[in-house]
Amino acid sequence: MQIWQYWMELGNQAYFTQDWPQAQHCYQQALADVWPVWLESTLGAAAEAGTLQQLPDNELCLPSCCLAVTVRNLANCHRAAGQPGRSRALLKQTQRWFCCALQQAKLPASLYASLLNLQADLHEALLHCAADPQPQEQNRIVGSGFTAAAGSTIH
């Protein structure tokens, strides 16, 4: 997750200087880093084999939290760059991914709860996107250091 954090920090710096193409590039790189981890851990072989139940909650929920933060920041960047359609499409697609994950039979309860919370957060972002093409001040950027639903801190 160090590569993810690196790209998120660069993306946040570019966002705050309103360098939209650079911010989008950095967030897309962060998404490319976290996506395969999330996919494998939530929908892939680890989920199929039932090995997720063996992980502590903070490790279990980390990829989903990182994915949601990355998507939220990239969506806000698209909105700030005057691309609300791209923002809505990204948020909707991520909600569909989380919906697929929530349908997994062997999903641990803590991951299920985390995914529900993250899906609700993305829904709220989608509502803001539909109502206002510019990000709200309080919704601009989610830092790369935050507390996950399971209680771990991501740096």
CATH number at residue 80: 1.25.40
pLDDT of residue 136 exceeding 50, the answer is no
AA letter at 1: M
Tell me what the mean pLDDT of segment 128-140 comes to: 58
pLDDT of residue 8 exceeding 90, the answer is yes
- Dihedral angle, C-alpha 87, 117, 98, 102, nearest 10 °: -160
Tell me what the mean pLDDT of segment 109-130 comes to: 90
pTM of the full structure? 0.81
Q: Count of H helices and E strands in the chain? A: 6, 2
pLDDT, tens digit, 9 for 90 and up, residues 17-76: 999 999 999 999 999 999 999 998 888 766 666 666 677 777 888 999 999 999 999 999
At 141 the pLDDT is 53
3-state SS class at 115: helix
What range does the domain containing 126 cover?
A: 2-154
pLDDT, tens digit, 9 for 90 and up, residues 84-96: 999 999 999 999 9
147 DSSP β-pair partners: 153
If one counts the domains in the chain, the total is 1
